[in-house]
Amino acid sequence: MKSLWNRLIKLDRKSSKSLQIQIREGIVTAALEKLLETDKPLPSSRELAKELEVARNTVVLAYQHLVDEGFLDSHERKGFFINPQVYRDRIDQPNTSDQNIAEDCPDWCKKLLLKQPSLQRNIRKNKNWKDHPYPFIFGQLDFNLIPIHEWRECVHYSLNVGEMRQWATDQVDEDDPLLIEQIQKRVLPRRGIWTKPENIMVTLGAQNALYIIASLLVGRDTKVGIENPGYPDVRNIMRLKTMNLVGLEVDNDGLVIDEHFSDCDVVYVTPSHQVPSGVTMSHSRRHALLETATREGIVIIEDDFEAESNFKHEPQPALKSLSDTAPVIYVGSTSKTFAPGLRLGYMVAPAKMIQEARALRRLMYRHVPANNQRSAALFISLGHYDKMIGRLHTIYKERWQAMYEAIERHLPTLKCVPNFGGSSFWLEGDKDLDVDVMAAALEQQGVIIEAGSVFFIGKNAPKNHFRLGYASIPVDKIEPGILMIADYLYGRLHE
């Protein structure tokens, strides 16, 4: 049977946390949950080390840290005790065994809750995708591709006293000037965009920028055009503002410019790599879009999604770079370059709109965490960003080639939309294929794919499309994973 302390301090020797930190956390948790008494000493360092099967010095350091923090008191010849001051100004949880603390949906909630975004159709991601051997999941990054050492260097440098003086205070509605400068001079020029600092604002990822833009531009009667199939989160953001959504067709040249397009007030588009098909909008289509938008007074929201991942030929210039007069709001992100969890994006718009966007952002969360902004600024200024882009080009190109050849060889009956980079392939099976069923069956075999019906507008969306991402799967796993998909489809045809 485990001893008391083995139950209170559950060490995970595979954890990224050191044993010393786990011991400190265990003691703090046990104390705050009042599982320890303030008048009884903790085990000696030798006793606890023996029980936990760790080096005595590990426990000594853990105890000393807790003493330094004022969590433990050290009494000579008596040992270590929980400091009674720990419990000051803390309200104990009442005995509510027979009382419902939090109702699922109280009456006031039913009465006043005006929006229920949880009911919207949205992309569902497998939270345990890293545990599957064939994760063709989109929007995640192979951990081995994250520039850990470079990012650590920037974070470490941002923690020196001089740098902390710059970012530790509340910035209210301002952004880190160094990051704005790096976006202006190093990031945007890669897309042909030259602009002023007052036209740039940092956001919590591109999606946050899109929500702010929708909040400022879209009202109940605004007609918003979105690609169909297209990005579900944008569809859902817009539906919180208006029900006047117009689905716009997409072909192999990108968004189709027709009478439906001309009927819109605002249009959202992903020209670099269309979501989800991966199509790159052609040069002629880009000019047609800008000319029509300028003539009809349509505001274009350009989500320059995966612009840096066009490795088969020179990338098409951003819409924003092709006209000084066209009404284009540009949205970009560095999250996919650094790490998806960083959530760092930006928007480029007229100064007046940026002014209002900053005022709205201030009401939401004031500004993006300043320490992350400074670390990102250093990451770009030290050349790590450009190095990362070049490295990703090489790796993604290899994976793209492996995926393309595997699909051509093993899935010849599926329609595959041609693309020129990005990080995924969009496939279409026969009309009777139910990808939801296929995805569930493949997941049991360790293969993660993304069903495509959620990308279409309407309840009767086709169920025979799916997306295969390759940013999160090693190149040697691609063909074996495609073979398992082929086995499922082949077996289905011969049932």
pLDDT given at position 2? 62
Domain end, chosen from 355, 382, 409, is at 382
- CATH number of domain containing 404: 3.90.1150.10
Residue 93 lies in a domain: no
Which candidate, 479, 469, 484, places its Cα nearest to that of 145? Answer: 469
Please indicate, yes or no, whether residues 365 and 464 belong to a single structural domain of this protein.
Answer: no
Residue ranges of the chain with per-residue pLDDT less than 50: 1, 98
**Number of separate domains in the chain:** 3
Please indicate, yes or no, whether residues 328 and 298 belong to a single structural domain of this protein.
Answer: yes
Per residue in 365-422, pLDDT (tens digit) is 999 999 999 999 999 999 999 998 888 888 999 999 999 999 999 999 999 988 878 8
pLDDT given at position 418? 83
- Asked if 191 contacts 320 with a C-beta cutoff of 8 angstroms, the reply is yes
Residue 197 lies in a domain: yes
Residue 115 lies in a domain: no
Please indicate, yes or no, whether residues 374 and 407 belong to a single structural domain of this protein.
Answer: no
- CATH number of domain containing 169: 3.40.640.10
- CATH number of domain containing 44: 1.10.10.10
What is the rounded distance in angstroms from the CA atom of residue 228 to the CA atom of residue 434?
A: 19
Please indicate, yes or no, whether residues 334 and 439 belong to a single structural domain of this protein.
Answer: no
Q: Determine the structural domain holding residue 31 and report its residue range.
A: 4-87
DSSP notation for 43-67: PPHHHHHHHHTS-HHHHHHHHHHHH
Q: Which residue has the tokens 């005022």?
A: 359
- Asked if 472 contacts 129 with a C-beta cutoff of 8 angstroms, the reply is yes
Please indicate, yes or no, whether residues 75 and 179 belong to a single structural domain of this protein.
Answer: no
Please indicate, yes or no, whether residues 173 and 59 belong to a single structural domain of this protein.
Answer: no
Q: What letter would DSSP give residue 422? A: T
Domain end, chosen from 338, 358, 382, is at 382
Q: Which residue has the tokens 């023996």?
A: 50
What is the rounded distance in angstroms from the CA atom of residue 488 to the CA atom of residue 393?
A: 32
Q: What is the pTM of this model?
A: 0.88
Please indicate, yes or no, whether residues 158 and 254 belong to a single structural domain of this protein.
Answer: yes
Neighbouring residues of 230: CB distance < 8 A, sequence distance ≥ 6: 247, 250, 268, 270, 274, 275, 276, 455, 457
List, in sequence order, every beta strand (DSSP E) within 229-357.
Answer: 245-251, 254-255, 266-269, 299-303, 328-333, 345-348
Please indicate, yes or no, whether residues 409 and 316 belong to a single structural domain of this protein.
Answer: no
What is the rounded distance in angstroms from the CA atom of residue 142 to the CA atom of residue 74?
A: 46
DSSP 3-state assignment of 442?
Answer: helix
Residue 109 lies in a domain: no
Please indicate, yes or no, whether residues 351 and 216 belong to a single structural domain of this protein.
Answer: yes
Domain end, chosen from 382, 406, 426, is at 382
Please indicate, yes or no, whether residues 420 and 452 belong to a single structural domain of this protein.
Answer: yes
173 CB-side CA count, 13 A: 12
Residue 92 lies in a domain: no
pLDDT given at position 1? 47
What is the rounded distance in angstroms from the CA atom of residue 188 to the CA atom of residue 202?
A: 13
pLDDT given at position 68? 94
Please indicate, yes or no, whether residues 158 and 303 belong to a single structural domain of this protein.
Answer: yes
Please indicate, yes or no, whether residues 130 and 188 belong to a single structural domain of this protein.
Answer: no
Residue 96 lies in a domain: no
Residue 293 lies in a domain: yes
Beta bridge partners of 329: 301
pLDDT given at position 101? 52
Structure tokens given for 10? 């559950």
Residue 320 lies in a domain: yes
